[in-house]
């Protein structure tokens, strides 16, 4: 199949076939049937001549907008239903037809394509992400690089630090643990516990002053629960007004901190990734070990979420137990 097969002669409006004798304008590359060219005597595609454009580039842009297939061998843009490249005759293999290939719309109607398993999202791995290779950073991130790599490049190019991260707003401790940022995960747990402490103590007071619950506790363990927790109840009642005064402000402080995590959580992860990649690059003796370390220390971990939940509720339980043991009779 010739590269003009299926295109239209702009004089006779008939489509070119493999057997047609075709001539091409030397200025813009517009194809004609030889008879049509001889009859007209010149190229009639004056709109291209006026702007110095070529028929081939215009045609390829139109095909891109229509979902045309880019040849993996010569990068010629073919018709959407082409079975092989019209220019070099090469097979398309699994490029744009494959479900593993991702299409990114670009300005002007063009498209960019890259393999779904390409951690660099089609970008050059040797591109610098500050002091580190983009390929190493992508290998460290691993999960959801389609979101993080363009975002990291924006941080690098613009110097901005703000973006939206809903997970870091709703569950900051779980998000940071999932991304293996244990320092921030523990800080988040501590902040959530402290901000929720007045409310937790008020709930404890409500429980300790509920007769049905205390009677049930006495029946279950054979003890006088009311007498047993009298000191703790008295302490909480003595500070009930203070706890009520602190409850709403501490709740609002918690909301404000969550908002900060929402706005800066992605940038915290960006800085964390660059630091970790830099340390691995410094200590890894060769590329093979460096890649292995990037895979082990980077990525995500579901079990970290489980561990962080245990740490959070362990902290809440510890606070309750400490208060109980301090005042229990």
Establish if 152 belongs to a structural domain: no
Query: Rounded to an integer, what distance in angstroms lies between the CA atom of residue 189 and that of residue 160?
Result: 27
Instruction: Kindly state the tokens that stand for 89.
Output: 């005759």
Shared domain check, 230 and 91:
no
Establish if 160 belongs to a structural domain: no
Shared domain check, 305 and 201:
yes
* pLDDT range class, residue 135, cuts 50, 70, 90: very high
The rounded radius of gyration (Å) of the Cα atoms in the chain is: 33
Shared domain check, 262 and 189:
yes
The reported pLDDT for the residue numbered 42 is 82
Sign for the pseudo-dihedral over CA of 7, 13, 14, 17? negative
Question: Each residue of 193-248: pLDDT tens digit?
Answer: 999 999 999 998 998 888 887 778 777 766 666 677 788 888 999 999 999 999 99
Q: Which residues of 157-188 are buried (b: 16+ CB within 10 A; e: fewer)?
A: eeeeeeeebebbbebbbbbbbbbbbeebbbbb
Shared domain check, 25 and 86:
no
- The region of weakest confidence among 94-98, 128-132, 284-288, 319-323 is 94-98
Instruction: Kindly state the tokens that stand for 181.
Output: 């940022």
Average per-residue pLDDT for the chain:
83
Instruction: Kindly state the tokens that stand for 311.
Output: 């740490």
Shared domain check, 82 and 49:
no
Give yes or no for residue 177 having a pLDDT over 50.
yes
Contacts of 297 (CB under 8 A, 6+ apart): 140, 180, 276, 280
Establish if 138 belongs to a structural domain: no
Question: Each residue of 85-104: pLDDT tens digit?
Answer: 766 666 765 444 444 566 66
* pLDDT range class, residue 69, cuts 50, 70, 90: confident
3-state secondary structure of 52: coil
Query: Rounded to an integer, what distance in angstroms lies between the CA atom of residue 86 and that of residue 6?
Result: 10
Q: How many domains does the chain have?
A: 3
Query: Rounded to an integer, what distance in angstroms lies between the CA atom of residue 215 and that of residue 226?
Result: 8
Tell me the mean pLDDT in the region 157-170: 94
Shared domain check, 44 and 88:
no
Sign for the pseudo-dihedral over CA of 236, 242, 247, 253? negative
Shared domain check, 176 and 45:
no
- Residue bearing the bigger pLDDT, 75 or 108: 75
Shared domain check, 71 and 214:
no
Shared domain check, 109 and 8:
no
Domain that holds residue 45: 1-53
Establish if 208 belongs to a structural domain: yes
Tell me the mean pLDDT in the region 251-268: 96
Shared domain check, 196 and 259:
yes
- CATH number for 18: 3.30.40
Please tell me the pTM assigned to this model: 0.65
Residue carrying the six token digits 């400490």: 322
Question: Each residue of 183-197: pLDDT tens digit?
Answer: 999 999 999 999 999
User: Which helix (H) or strand (E) covers residue 306, if one does?
Assistant: helix 302-327
């Amino acid at each position: 199949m010739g590269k003009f097969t299926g295109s239209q002669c702009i004089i006779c409006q008939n489509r070119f076939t493999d057997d047609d004798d075709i001539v091409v304008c030397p200025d813009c590359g517009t194809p004609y049937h030889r008879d049509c060219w001889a009859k007209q005597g010149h190229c009639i595609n004056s709109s291209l001549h006026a702007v110095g454009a070529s028929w081939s580039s215009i045609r390829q842009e139109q095909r891109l907008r229509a979902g045309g297939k880019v040849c993996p061998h010569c990068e010629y843009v073919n018709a959407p239903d082409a079975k092989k490249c019209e220019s070099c005759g090469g097979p398309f293999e699994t490029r744009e037809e494959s479900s593993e290939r991702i299409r990114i719309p670009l300005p002007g109607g063009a498209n960019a394509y890259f393999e779904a398993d390409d951690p660099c999202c089609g970008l050059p791995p040797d591109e610098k992400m500050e002091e580190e290779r983009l390929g190493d950073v992508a290998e460290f991130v691993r999960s959801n690089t389609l979101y993080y790599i363009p975002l990291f490049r924006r941080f690098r190019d613009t110097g901005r630090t703000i973006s939206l991260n809903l997970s870091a707003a709703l569950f900051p401790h779980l998000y940071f643990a999932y991304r293996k940022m244990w320092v921030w995960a523990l800080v988040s747990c501590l902040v959530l516990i402290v901000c929720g402490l007045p409310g937790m103590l008020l709930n404890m007071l409500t429980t300790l002053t509920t007769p049905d619950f205390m009677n049930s506790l006495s029946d279950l363990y054979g003890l006088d629960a009311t007498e047993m927790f009298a000191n703790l109840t008295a302490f909480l009642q003595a500070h009930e007004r203070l706890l009520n005064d602190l409850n709403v402000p501490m709740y609002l402080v918690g909301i404000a901190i969550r908002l900060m995590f929402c706005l800066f959580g992605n940038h915290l992860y960006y800085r964390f990734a660059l630091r970790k990649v830099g340390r691995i690059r410094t200590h890894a003796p060769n590329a093979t070990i460096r890649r292995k370390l990037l895979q082990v220390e980077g990525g995500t971990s579901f079990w970290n979420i489980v561990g962080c939940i245990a740490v959070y509720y362990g902290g809440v339980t510890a606070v309750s137990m400490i208060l109980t043991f301090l005042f229990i009779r």
